[in-house]
Amino acid sequence: MIDLNDTPDMASRRKRLLYRSNYRGFKEADMILGGFAKANIDTLTDQEVFMFEDLLGAKDHDIYAWVNGTLPVPANYDTPLLKRLRAFKPFT
């Protein structure tokens, strides 16, 4: 779990998340997560940044399956941010 008392500044955290979301190693995850980050990283609340950071700690194939609905989402990842990610359309 993220220790909110020991975090770098939010601008650095957002920059790091943008990079991590684009270079996952699984092309489909790169496109979904990277596209979502590019479109939304600057407008995410601090709490959403922490949720996104936590989500990026999961395995790419799991995230992809949660987004496309082929696997049930574990309770700890079933957040409003994941719902936004599921609604995101990277190819429109």
pLDDT tens figures, 32-60: 999 999 999 999 999 999 999 999 999 99
Confidence of residue 7 (pLDDT cuts 50, 70, 90): low
What CATH code would you report for 10-87? 1.10.150.250
pTM across the whole model = 0.84
CA 83 to CA 66: how far, in whole Å? 10
Average pLDDT over the chain reads 89
Q: Which residues contact 4 (CB under 8 A, 6 or more apart)?
A: 50
